[in-house]
Amino acid sequence: MAARGIRRVAMLSAHTSPLDQPGTGDAGGMNVYVLELSRRLAARGIEVEVFTRATSRHLPPVVEADEGIRVHHVAAGPFEGLTKGDLPSQLCSFVRDVLRVEAWHEPGYFDLVHSHYWLSGQVGTVLRERWGVPLVHSMHTMAKVKNASLAAGDRPEPVGRVAGEEEIVRFADRLIANTAEERRELIDLYEADPRAVEVVHPGVDLDVFSATEPDDEPPLVVFAGRIQPLKAPDVVLHASALLDVPHRVAIIGGPSGSGLDRPTELTDLARELGIADRVEFVPTVTQAELATWYSRAAVVCVPSYSESFGLVAIEAQACGTPVVAAAVGGLTTAVADGVTGTLVDGHDPAAYAAALRPYLTDREFRSDAGAKAVRHAESFGWDVTAERTLDVYAAALHDREAAREEAG
């Protein structure tokens, strides 16, 4: 039986597919979020239909991703060669094909729309009006927040995105924020109605990410994520160059965003800093392989300029690995400063070197933080995320029904 009376959800992930491998291109934490949330909803008897843009003519129109989860590859614009910045001009085609899918069914086929990222949110505002169902939206990142803390060499988000996000905030029945800080940003920067913004933390797959004892010597520092200025992998390399203690560094991930313009920048930097012999560059890996890397590490470093949450930090802690992270966005929630890791103000490599040092030199200190990290991560399971999300769905549906009765 479907939970909370919800039978079917249209899940919108227009610019990136939940079936893509996280860590390269536009695939990252949001891909994990959409797929894992969909799995937990399906396990509760709710059918989830995910709509994402087709990036190859060879993709099947529909994929049964898991029991109860159907992924639609929507043809919207050229299959290849489009960047995320090109996609706003293709949204009309995307909307048309999503409407076409729903038109094959009886009215009321979908109970609710849940959109992810602003491009999907633009589509969601149209579907909300056409189908007469609530729109729940998750920002994941916000232009005004990103533009306030740009990395050197990174491009600011365009005014069109800002306007699009403001429109979504006006129309969405509920907004899901990853953290209390993101909730404040939606209210303060976008004038969101406080009654419409709910905090639901993302989760971690505790079956995949679990603790083992690190056995690498010399101790290993891991960075995992898309290779772009926003994620600041260069800070990890600069910090490593300042450390005079034995250690190695693994940079895991593929180029993304403005990082695509300079694909050899990090390898060149490692050579310039004289640390190429201690740095390993690892292409994007599966979730299971990533868990192995986390478990091998003495510490994971997440020096991002902006993070709506920072799933890498929670995944690492679930593996018993402490985290050194920037004190920005959701990382201040994901990492318990001074308990499961260390939060660093700013992006000075010297500050990161100082924060990393005790985890590399003091095994007892590292083990104690790692044990606490496991307990901290256990409160972020995806089942908790799914239950809280269902509460948000139910509230949006209740308000929509109440408005109909009042209007009637």
CB 162 within 8 Å of CB 139: no
Q: Is 161 annotated as a binding residue?
A: yes
Q: Is 321 annotated as a binding residue?
A: yes
∠ Cα 346 351 352 (to 5°): 90
Residue 213: CB atoms within 10 A of its CB come to 9
- If you classify domain 220-380 with CATH, what class do you get? alpha beta
Q: Is 372 annotated as a binding residue?
A: no
Nearest residue to 208 via CA among 282, 283, 290, 285: 290
Q: Is 231 annotated as a binding residue?
A: yes
More confident residue, 231 or 17: 231
CA distance linking residue 256 with residue 263, whole number of Å:
9
Residues 44-57 have pLDDT tens digits of 999 999 999 988 88
Q: Is 358 annotated as a binding residue?
A: no
Q: Is 323 annotated as a binding residue?
A: no
Helices (H), 104-141: 117-131
Q: Is 307 annotated as a binding residue?
A: yes
Is 161 a residue whose pLDDT tops 90? yes
For the chain, the domains span 3-203+381-407, 220-380
Q: Is 285 annotated as a binding residue?
A: yes
Is 266 a residue whose pLDDT tops 70? yes
Residues 204-262 have pLDDT tens digits of 999 999 988 766 789 999 999 989 899 999 999 999 999 999 999 999 998 765 545 66
The reply to whether domains 3-203+381-407 and 220-380 share a CATH topology is yes
Residues 103-122 have pLDDT tens digits of 999 999 999 999 999 999 99
Q: Between the CA of residue 61 and those of 12, 26, 80, 97, what are the distances in Å?
A: 15, 21, 16, 11
At residue 213, the pLDDT reads 73
Is 3 a residue whose pLDDT tops 80? no
pTM for the model: 0.87
Q: Is 31 annotated as a binding residue?
A: yes
Nearest residue to 393 via CA among 76, 111, 145, 101: 111
The three-class DSSP label of residue 139 is: coil
Q: Is 84 annotated as a binding residue?
A: yes
At residue 24, the pLDDT reads 57
**Average per-residue pLDDT for the chain:** 92
Residue 274: CB atoms within 10 A of its CB come to 9
Q: Is 315 annotated as a binding residue?
A: yes
Q: Is 128 annotated as a binding residue?
A: no
Is 62 a residue whose pLDDT tops 90? yes
Exposure string of 371-383, with b = 16+ CB inside 10 Å and e = fewer, is ebbbebbeebbbe
Q: Is 246 annotated as a binding residue?
A: no
- If you classify domain 3-203+381-407 with CATH, what class do you get? alpha beta
Q: Is 393 annotated as a binding residue?
A: no
User: What are the CB-based long-range contacts (under 8 Å, 24+) for 270-274?
Assistant: 270/237, 273/237, 273/238, 273/240, 273/241, 274/241
CB 344 within 8 Å of CB 303: yes
At residue 27, the pLDDT reads 57
Nearest residue to 34 via CA among 316, 393, 389: 389
Tokens 């290779």 locate to 227
CB 322 within 8 Å of CB 370: yes
Q: Is 212 annotated as a binding residue?
A: no
Q: Is 100 annotated as a binding residue?
A: no
Dig out the tokens for 318 from the structure.
């679930």
| Dihedrals phi, psi of 80, to nearest 5 degrees | -125, 160
Residues 309-319 have pLDDT tens digits of 889 999 999 99
At residue 259, the pLDDT reads 46
Q: Is 249 annotated as a binding residue?
A: no
Q: Is 349 annotated as a binding residue?
A: no
DSSP 157: P
The three-class DSSP label of residue 280 is: strand
Q: Is 341 annotated as a binding residue?
A: no
CA distance linking residue 157 with residue 190, whole number of Å:
15
